[in-house]
Amino acid sequence: MAGPADRVDVAIVGAGPVGAALAALIAPTGRSVRVLEARGGPSGDARTLALSQASRDLLESAGGWPASGVTPITEIHVSQKGGPGRTLITAADQGLAALGYTVAYAELEEILAARLAARISWGAACEAIDLEAGIARLRLAGSGTVEARLLVLADGGANARRIPGLAYSEKDYGQVAVTGPVHADRPHRGRAYERFTSRGPVALLPVGERFALVWTATPAEAARILALDDAAFLAELQAHFGDRAGRFIAAGSRASFPLKLRSVNTTIALRTVIAGNAAQAMHPIAGQGLNIGLRDAAGLAGLLEEDPKGDPGAAALLESYRLGRRRDAGRGVAFTDFLVGAFMDGRRLPTWGRGIALTALDILPPARRWLADRMIHGAPRS
């Protein structure tokens, strides 16, 4: 735990992948950085993340890319249940070696934690924040205090309410993601599947020899699915998803995550930056959340690097961060929300309309490239 009145240049609340990657990017620049994490150690979170090449490059430069356990995604198959049309986005089509990579949240956590070593204070939950013109002061669970010239909230949204002027807008999709490993009777060959259903999207991501499943359902349905034995679970998944990925033959332990869209009204406050899920948390349908959060981290680290001796919490630097991140984050939120709504809300786009859209995507390379760019990079490639 951090000692009383510890003084650092940058204090980051949250050692999730965004906070930890940011700290790993800042640490070599000579600024003192401290990461305060409420948990007593890595979470071992079971979720699988699909990350873009740009996210991989960034994590590699932070020394936070796992040496093993990474699976390239070479194709994404997109379809809808109960309607026509499907499209296949391939890496070859896009002139890329891979559309992205799957990696375990827990792996990222471990490698970044090892990289940061003593810069992380485990079990240091931020309980109070006091912002002054020259310093941000944090009170931690127990009696510790940390003072920093720049405070970064990368805590998934736990502490923004402690800061005057910050507020969240929320949209509850009324959905829960059921996740877990699933084995099929044929090799995936790097293909990911995204299947839209009126009850929510289902995704299968290739991981090693198996898939990672993300099955969205209403909270009641999710509770029922979680309680099924493996045989019943596999039979229901097969009926819901169909046989395009083969026959499902084994499943591992399942977890669940409630799904909401939540955005903060501004990503800066006095001596404070809000990054990652603390700034924008979204539905996992398009695999945007961490990719955007890592770009938050890269954006802030880049600004700090431009003026290595300057005040890291200076108002002008914070305003540059806010302006620099506004468009990218806003687009990611809007694209994700559009996908969720278009495929669930029959009034927004009827089944035949979605079929035409998927067919058009399949036969029109520029349209497919548009979707691919947003799914892979979160934005058009320049």
Ligand X SMILES: Cc1cc2nc3c(=O)[nH]c(=O)nc-3n(C[C@H](O)[C@H](O)[C@H](O)COP(=O)(O)OP(=O)(O)OC[C@H]3O[C@@H](n4cnc5c(N)ncnc54)[C@H](O)[C@@H]3O)c2cc1C
126 is a contact residue toward ligand X (CB under 6 A): yes
Q: For ligand X, give the closer residue by CB, 83 or 121.
A: 121
17 is a contact residue toward ligand X (CB under 6 A): yes
Q: Which of residues 133-162 bind ligand X (CB under 6 A)?
A: 154-156, 158-159
Q: How many residues bind ligand X (CB under 6 A)?
A: 35
- The residue within the footprint of ligand X, chosen from 33, 91, 125, 298 (CB under 6 A), is 125
The CB-side HSE value for 289 (13 A sphere, CA atoms) comes to 22
Which residue is closest to ligand X by CB?
16
Q: For ligand X, give the closer residue by CB, 180 or 355.
A: 180
Q: For ligand X, give the closer residue by CB, 19 or 313.
A: 19
Query: Could you tell me which stretch among 81-89, 112-120, 185-193, 283-291 binds ligand X (CB under 6 A)?
Result: 283-291
| The token pair that represents 370 in the structure block | 């548009």
Q: For ligand X, give the closer residue by CB, 257 or 338.
A: 257
Q: For ligand X, give the closer residue by CB, 13 or 304.
A: 13
179 is a contact residue toward ligand X (CB under 6 A): yes
Q: Judging by beta carbons within 10 Å of its beta carbon (0-12, 13-18, 19+), is residue 352 exposed, middle or buried? A: exposed
Q: For ligand X, give the closer residue by CB, 73 or 317.
A: 73
276 is a contact residue toward ligand X (CB under 6 A): yes
112 is a contact residue toward ligand X (CB under 6 A): no
- The residue within the footprint of ligand X, chosen from 180, 284, 313, 355 (CB under 6 A), is 284
206 is a contact residue toward ligand X (CB under 6 A): no
Q: For ligand X, give the closer residue by CB, 52 or 80.
A: 52
Question: For the window 231-270, what string marks contact with ligand X as x by the rule CB under 6 A?
Answer: --------------------------x-------------
- The residue within the footprint of ligand X, chosen from 287, 313, 332, 355 (CB under 6 A), is 287
- Please, what is the minimum distance in Å from the beta carbon of residue 42 to ligand X? 9
Note whether 262 and 280 are within 8 A (CB): yes
Q: Which of residues 18-47 bind ligand X (CB under 6 A)?
A: 18-19, 36-39, 47
293 is a contact residue toward ligand X (CB under 6 A): yes
DSSP 101-135: EEEEHHHHHHHHHHHHGGGEEET--EEEEEE-SS-
Note whether 94 and 74 are within 8 A (CB): no
16 is a contact residue toward ligand X (CB under 6 A): yes
- Please, what is the minimum distance in Å from the beta carbon of residue 180 to ligand X? 10
Q: Select from 204, 158, 203, 202 the least CA-distant residue to 184.
A: 204
13 is a contact residue toward ligand X (CB under 6 A): yes
Contact residues: ligand X, CB under 6 A: 13-19, 36-39, 47, 49-51, 125-126, 154-156, 158-159, 177, 179, 214, 257, 276-277, 284, 287-291, 293
